[in-house]
Amino acid sequence: MNARLSELLSQAPPHPRRVVCLTEETTEVLYRLGAEDLVVGVSGFTVRPPQARKKPRVSSFLDANFERILELKPDLVLGFSDLQADIGRELAKRGVPVYLFNQRSIAEILQAVRLTGALVGRPEAAEALAAELTSNLERHADAAESLPRRPRIFFEEWHEPLISGIRWCSELVELVGGVDVCRESRASQGAQGRIFTPEEVARRDPEGVIASWCGRKAKREKIAARPGWAGVRAVVDDQLYEVKSSLILQPGPAALSDGVDRLARIVAAVARGEKLPPLRAGELRSAGA
């Protein structure tokens, strides 16, 4: 190779070698690709995988420690959605390469997995991970065909105001055999378009409620005490469940593996008139820790 060209090409590696992840799902993807050595900084909210918590924590969801990020000398920062646009803009102004994902659907989550692999030079591993996640979804979709019926389900990701599930949560509920009673709201890009009054959800009479309050433990008494909810079938039958937000509200591998696994158990129990036990007495029912 020409010596001058070789010198120019040596100024940057073919693919990023130092990656900062501002949200958990990109961290999990990189670890699942065997590229954990590339991760030099993570979100303070990261819980998956547990070993990633040993990495320097550089951000919350809406704020970032810019000086700390610059100290880590990243050649790529990965973030998520318009909510992190200001962080991305500031980093770009400081000369840091930034890629903001904006996945909302199952298909877009799988696309984001593939894109992440491509960005760091691991396309084959990313394709294998996407295939593994797709296979798990297919297994649940096939199992849903044998359910005795499709129960009405309300998935809530916040309680005050009452916010229905983001698009991938709605899609997963229906994939595993449920009928999302607020299905029309999943077309909304932001949470504002998914706000419902308690009375309206009560009118739709869900047979099962799945709560996943982002970063907060859901409370049975708060759900049951809502206006008009005393006669809601899910309350009468005590089919009130919780799924940890770290398993279902991250648009990455967690939602398409452990998250959908739990949704499937819950929907199947409601469809069969069974009840899964709570993890602890007095808490909402659960499909596992």
DSSP letter at 37 equals G
Average per-residue pLDDT for the chain: 95
Q: What is the largest CA-CA distance in the chain?
A: 78
Check whether 12 has a pLDDT greater than 90.
Answer: no
The domain made up of 3-102 has a fold known as Rossmann fold (3.40.50)
Q: Which range among 4-13, 23-32, 60-69, 255-264 shows the weakest confidence by mean pLDDT?
A: 4-13
Say which amino acid occupies 80. Answer: F
* Distance between CA atoms of residues 206 and 8, nearest Å: 62
- The answer regarding whether domain 127-272 maps to CATH 3.40.50.620 reads no
Q: Say whether 127-272 and 3-102 share the same fold.
A: yes
Give residue limits of the domains in the chain. Answer: 3-102, 127-272
Q: Which range among 2-6, 81-85, 131-135, 261-265 shows the weakest confidence by mean pLDDT?
A: 2-6
- Matching residue, tokens 């880590």: 72
Residue 110 vs residues 29, 105, 107, 166: alpha-carbon distances, Å: 11, 9, 5, 16
| Token digits of residue 9 | 């090409």
| Per-residue pLDDT reduced to its tens digit, 228-264 | 999 999 999 999 999 999 999 999 999 999 999 999 9
Q: Given this model, what pLDDT does residue 196 score?
A: 98
Adjacent-strand bridge partners of 98? 77
Collapse the DSSP code of 50 into the 3-class scheme (helix H, G, I; strand E, B; otherwise coil) and give the result. helix
> What count of other Cβ atoms lies within 10 Å of the Cβ of residue 280?
8
| Token digits of residue 23 | 């949200």
Collapse the DSSP code of 188 into the 3-class scheme (helix H, G, I; strand E, B; otherwise coil) and give the result. coil
Q: Are 113 and 252 in contact (CB under 8 A)?
A: yes
Q: Give the DSSP H/E element, type plus range, for residue 241.
A: strand 240-242
Adjacent-strand bridge partners of 162? 159, 196
Rounded to the nearest 5°, which phi and psi values hold at 72? -80, -10
| Token digits of residue 14 | 């073919």
- Would you say the pTM of this structure is higher than 0.85? yes
| Per-residue pLDDT reduced to its tens digit, 102-161 | 999 999 999 999 999 999 999 999 999 999 999 999 999 999 999 999 999 999 999 999
* Distance between CA atoms of residues 222 and 213, nearest Å: 12
Check whether 1 has a pLDDT greater than 80.
Answer: no
DSSP letter at 278 equals B
